[in-house]
Structure 1
Amino acid sequence: MGKLDLVTIIIIAANVIISYKGFGDFGFFEKYKFNVGALRRGEQFRLFSSGFLHVDNAHLFFNMFSLYFFADIVINDLGIFSFIIIYTGSLLLGNLLSLYFHKDEYHYSAVGASGAVMGVIYSAILLQPGMSLYMFFIPIPIPAYLFGIGYLLYSIYGMKNRVGNIGHDAHFGGAIGGYVITLILASWLFEENLLMIGLLAIPIVLLFILKKTGKM
């Protein structure tokens, strides 16, 4: 872990300030959250604004803690501008995938930076596939690429079975964003890590096959 870059500090601060505003102001929260009915009425700004709101302190902390650990890898390898593109693009793609899966559920609502953070995590895994991750509940290191594949497979399961009050589709969409945008910005990865690119694509291809065959 290197120094915490200024852009990461700004993003974390924005999430904290906007989330706390939402905690104490129900009208503000309702106006800027992701809501299918409002989006279909033309309030597209919610695709972006909802990514800075959270439901509670635990939700906010977990997302910002994850961002804190992975942002530096992406910034060091690709630079600040590319990191911002990956963060923003993953946030939007996560919410767009949610909208795609819930387009007829006008009541469906969601908030959180999870899509953006998953995009950053998937980008970091692509850039440093050999790194190991330590999970709170598992005392041994897990190869980053196995975590990435396993998490997306779990997200497919969660989407299919509506597991918990979690936006699995936003997580998945964010990961797709991080994956695709990173490969566009760092095309040299195709020469260095082609096998890893293929492995990390497995859950993404599986989701589209399931959707195409009507099993999602």
Structure 2
Amino acid sequence: MSTTLIVIILANVLISYKGFNDMFFFRKYDFHIGSIRAGEQVRMFSSAFLHADMSHLFFNMLTLFFFAPIVVGYLGEVSFVLIYFSSLIFGNLLTLSLHKNDLSYRAIGASGAVTGIVYSAILLEPTMTINFFIPGYLFGILYLLYSIYGMRAKNDNIGHTAHFGGAIGGYVFTIIKQPEMLTDNLFTVVVLAIPIVVLFVMAKMGKL
């Protein structure tokens, strides 16, 4: 297993565990629009290492555990790290953009970074299947459609908006690294772009 992957998972586990048991720590480093706009930019990064509960942490880390080795195998450790952290930042920048006027908005989770890795892995290995029968590209679409539901429902503090920014980060960086997929794998490239386009159409229409 990749050493970098182990370090990232351990960081998520340890920081999340600290947040589970220390609400002051949790509130100091979560993604909070009002605090970020007041100058606490560290929250743009630190919030991605906090999780709502054990199930939220487990799901994100399990997803990362399964998809990260594909990215490392195709692109190497350095590109994996770049995709992970660029997706993290893209996710939080999109969240900040869409919720900039809601000063009370809060969110946490590695979902943006993990979604970027998921999208990258599916682009790199389009014939992959999830749970032995779900095509990888279909999983990617369903994952983001669920995120749209979460964004509209607003019934938790999980960073659903960050999923899209993360997907964009993973999508764009992977195509830059492997531009030949625009001809060799055009179907997957186009299909994975659909939920991203849907998001921006909905945002433009004020449906989020």
Q: TM-score range by the shorter chain?
A: over 0.9
2:62 corresponds in structure 1 to 65
1:214 corresponds in structure 2 to 206
CA-based RMSD: 1.5
Within 2, Cα distance between the matches of 1:214 and 1:29?
Answer: 31
Within 2, Cα distance between the matches of 1:127 and 1:22?
Answer: 35
1:145 corresponds in structure 2 to 137
Residues 31-57 of structure 1, C-alpha deviations (whole Å, 9 max, x = no match): 111100011111111111111111222
Q: Say which SS state the counterpart of residue 187 (structure 1) adopts.
A: coil
- Which of 98, 102, 122 is 2:99 aligned to? 102
Answering whether residue 179 of structure 2 is matched by residue 187 of structure 1, we say yes
Per-residue deviation at 1:170?
Answer: 1.2
Specify whether residues 199 and 163 from structure 1 end up closer, same or farther in structure 2 by C-alpha distance, changes over 3 A only. Answer: farther
- Which of 142, 149, 154 is 2:146 aligned to? 154
Answering whether residue 168 of structure 2 is matched by residue 172 of structure 1, we say no
Within 2, Cα distance between the matches of 1:174 and 1:76?
Answer: 20
Q: Say which SS state the counterpart of residue 100 (structure 2) adopts.
A: coil
Residues 193-216 of structure 1, C-alpha deviations (whole Å, 9 max, x = no match): 112111111111122222223333
Within 1, Cα distance between the matches of 2:29 and 2:199?
Answer: 29
Per-residue deviation at 1:177?
Answer: 1.3
Q: Say which SS state the counterpart of residue 134 (structure 2) adopts.
A: strand
- Which of 41, 44, 55 is 2:41 aligned to? 44
TM-score (norm 2): 0.93
1:85 corresponds in structure 2 to 82
Q: Is the 8 A contact 2:52 2:158 kept in 1?
A: no
State percent identity of aligned pairs.
Answer: 58
* Gaps in structure 2 of 5+ consecutive residues: none
Answering whether residue 28 of structure 2 is matched by residue 31 of structure 1, we say yes
Q: Which one-letter code corresponds to 1:210 in the other structure?
A: M
2:188 corresponds in structure 1 to 196
Per-residue deviation at 1:164?
Answer: 4.8
TM-score (norm 1): 0.90
Answering whether residue 5 of structure 2 is matched by residue 8 of structure 1, we say yes
Residues 149-168 of structure 1, C-alpha deviations (whole Å, 9 max, x = no match): 12222322332343555322
Q: Which one-letter code corresponds to 2:189 in the other structure?
A: I
